[in-house]
Structure 1
């Protein structure tokens, strides 16, 4: 699927780190219990554990949202891949933000979650659109655009990451996509440096 059309949930915060996304104390839990149950655990709940109805993801109008809109530096902090697992288990498939933690963004792509970077002004416009709740947006990975209420915004993503997401590939699949070129290089290298070629044991 190259286009995602879904409710978009506005999270108008900066520096949402991986510990806020998935608190460290839940790392001992197996993923089979459903990591979505721990997503934004402290932010979504009051001290007594009850859900905070003011938190955007708890708004019934945003139920089933697959797109998040956030401010800069989303996913900063530790290299905790469980933060991405929790988002994916919740059903989130795209996060729109001006910038991301580097390791978070890499983990996101490897798990089929699109970290789409937009300018700060565009993000503020999208946050304003999404703020009422229940607003649908369309993210087109082919065109690298976000459409919302008649407006179109362009986003940026590393070209290799885009190829991985479009094809459902991981790093090994990317390497395999160059099999012909790799084989040709190996053949040339063996011809030029036969003494360096690896031989199977007798």
Structure 2
């Protein structure tokens, strides 16, 4: 597996099938780190930052949020960091996002005991994370061009396929002007402590 760097942890709602979802997304429930696709618990009092530094902080926030929420661990390929950090440079600072500093530390990901769920093609734009599932028709476009389809929860299970899908999305320009650079984010389920 490619070397991944820890982005952090998100506490996300469980998304149920919606009529507006891409026709190529046939799953009844979606696992996503995207601000567009799922509700997220804020990690700061202002409600701007949705990234928790460690799984314990995220698990504590999940318990406070109540039923229907889950913790997702997220990592990005080290090779994608220069482009991701460039995309986030202005928007993340304006929003008070702590993600760029964490990525700069290049801490290995996933952590001990984290169960790999799959990969989500995502990109940063306009201060939020977009998914291939949130910009109309991209799941279908990727499937037509590459034969890569989402698996369980809308994630791509194979790393090489996910990286190929992200590269195709970047080259196609179909996510513009929201997303110019796509990356295959590794998504995990941390094992709660205790």
TM-score after normalising by structure 1? 0.30
Q: Structure 2 length normalisation: TM-score?
A: 0.31
Higher strand proportion: 2
Larger radius of gyration: 1
- Structure with the largest fraction of helix: 1
